[in-house]
Amino acid sequence: MNGSSSESKTRDMDGQLAGLGYKVRSSELCQVAENMERLENAINTVNSSRDISQVVSDALLYDPSNIGLGSWVDTLLSELDQTVSLPYDLSSDLPDLPTDPNRQLGMVTTVEEDSGIRLVHTLITCADSVQRGDLAFAGSLIDSMQALLAHVNTSCGIGKVAGYFIDALRRRISSPQNAAFTTSPYENDVLYHHYYEACPYLKFAHFTANQAILEAFSGHDCVHVIDFNLMQGLQWPALIQALALRPGGPPSLRLTGVGPPSPDERDTLREIGARLAELAHSVNVRFTFRGVAAWRLEDVKPWMLQVSPKEAVAVNSIMQLHRVLGSGIDAVLGWIRSLNPKIVTVVEQEANHNGEGFLERFTEALHYYSTVFDSLEACSVEPDKGLAEMYLQREICNVVCCEGPARVERHEPLAKWRERLAKAGLRPLHLGSNAYKQASMLLTLFSAEGYCVEENQGCLTLGWHSRPLIAASAWQAAPLREGETVRFQR
């Protein structure tokens, strides 16, 4: 009877542990406790060395509910034992594989995977050294990581992403004053176009913003779109065609496009406007265009936009507002609000690359861009996908290499944008079901499974598997407070 009761209690305890997600039996808890004590001692030992970042990274790589608590502890102990004695020539003395199949479940099983994990650990350690100002040690780690790259596939996966981050760290360490890429407006246009074609992120941004603008313009005969980054005008043919099919006839459309000055005698903005005007004429939409040449968004002033009180105004910002976070976001949002727009469409990277600490920013960027490249590789192969990757490499370099006004890729998550835009006098508009349907239909154009559109409190996010990567939101000017006026002219 007592034996039966004991067995019942054991089964109950095993069931409770399983319910909590831990693949460990009650009979194994004593051994696990001993291993946990060893683990604590090992961590204390490593804490006194320079490899604490490796411990943190390892803790993120293993989930005890997936591989069993005992195996997880054994795995960490094994890695910590290697860490304490690991030489900084990280490309040498790769460990032999374990012979126990159960332990193989939680450990890397190939030299390439082991090198990939060491690459990530060393990248984090190097970033930590940069943050602490130990550039000599950080430079020595660059050489070690270059050696590790010889053991991984650099055409895809962590090998490719690590290569971009190693290059960015090298630029920051060796030439901190001239670390960023310098590209011409023409080169930026080419890279932007290839990124647009290679994956759905920019298309999602354009489709979602266009649908919100179309709905906001319902019932208005004179409409004015202000685009903060005209680029090649890729967003607007779809909107012009949608307005042409509007019941009751199309409105009169004005488009003001902001872009960099042309480096030569050409007026690139005017050329883009002429092509859009030709399209609008072909579908019987009354159309006028105005180009505003400015290197920076903060250089644009409301009077340049020539807004009329008779117009319904839409302000469109596709991945642009983060670029003024370090130099004048409050002023820009202030004059946007002063235009009394019918709608403000904002699409931004769903990331946090604007923290003060370099290590935190670097780590977040490494995770974020690893996911972006993972999604890019899953898309159908485009002949010039390398140029799309170069577009992302420019962003990575700016996040990692630059500080002060030169660092313009200051991405922040949707929650922070909600707070900032509300403080500026804008109130959220719900992106309706039509925008969700448009975005979902867009994904059918890409053969890769894994992209997902999700609704987030009236906003839409596009991500890869469970990770949101960009967020689209819509806003409207809140009622004017007492004493406020709307600015339309100089």
Q: What is the pLDDT along the chain (490 residues), one digit of tens a residue?
A: 555 555 665 666 565 545 444 445 555 555 555 554 554 454 444 444 444 344 333 334 333 334 444 444 444 445 444 443 333 444 444 444 455 554 444 444 466 677 778 889 999 999 999 999 999 999 999 999 998 888 787 777 788 999 999 999 999 998 766 556 667 778 888 899 999 988 999 999 999 999 999 999 999 999 999 999 999 999 999 999 999 999 999 999 999 999 998 877 788 999 999 999 999 999 999 999 999 999 999 999 999 999 999 999 999 999 999 999 987 899 999 999 999 999 999 999 999 999 889 999 999 999 999 999 999 988 876 667 889 999 999 999 999 999 988 999 999 999 999 999 999 999 999 998 888 888 888 888 776 688 999 999 999 999 999 899 999 999 999 876 655 554 544 4
In a domain, 427, yes or no: yes
Q: Is residue 284 part of a domain?
A: yes
Q: Is residue 373 part of a domain?
A: no
- Beta strands, E only, 378-482: 426-429, 451-456, 459-464, 467-477
Is 290 a member of any domain? yes
Other C-beta atoms closer than 10 Å to the C-beta of 482 total: 4
Containing domain of residue 15, as a range? 1-86
Question: Among 86, 107, 140, which residue terminates a domain?
Answer: 86
Give the end of a domain, one of 42, 63, 86: 86
Inside any domain, residue 449: yes
- B/e letters for 73-94, b = 16+ CB within 10 Å, e = fewer, are bbbbbbbbeebeebeeebbeeb
Same domain? 327 vs 469 = yes
Number of domains observed in the structure of the chain: 2
Largest CA distance in the chain: 97
Task: Quickly tell me which residue has 């002063």 as its tokens.
Answer: 338
Same domain? For 203 and 80 the reply is no
Distance CA 408, CA 137 (A): 28
Nearest to 322 by CA among 313, 333, 314: 333
Quote the radius of gyration of the chain (alpha carbons, Å): 27
Q: What 3-state class would DSSP assign to 380?
A: coil
Question: Which CATH number fits the domain that encloses residue 267?
Answer: 3.40.50.150
Helix (H) / strand (E) element for 292: namely strand 287-293
CA distances from 272 to 9, 226, 231, 269, 330 (A): 76, 15, 9, 5, 30
What DSSP designation does 149 have? Answer: H
In a domain, 219, yes or no: yes
82 and 203 part of one domain = no
> End of a domain among 86, 104, 126?
86
Q: Is residue 371 part of a domain?
A: no
Instruction: In whole angstroms, give the CA distance from residue 239 to residue 367.
Output: 35
Q: What are phi and psi of 126, to 5 degrees?
A: -65, -45
Residue 102 maps to a domain:
no
pTM metric for this prediction: 0.76
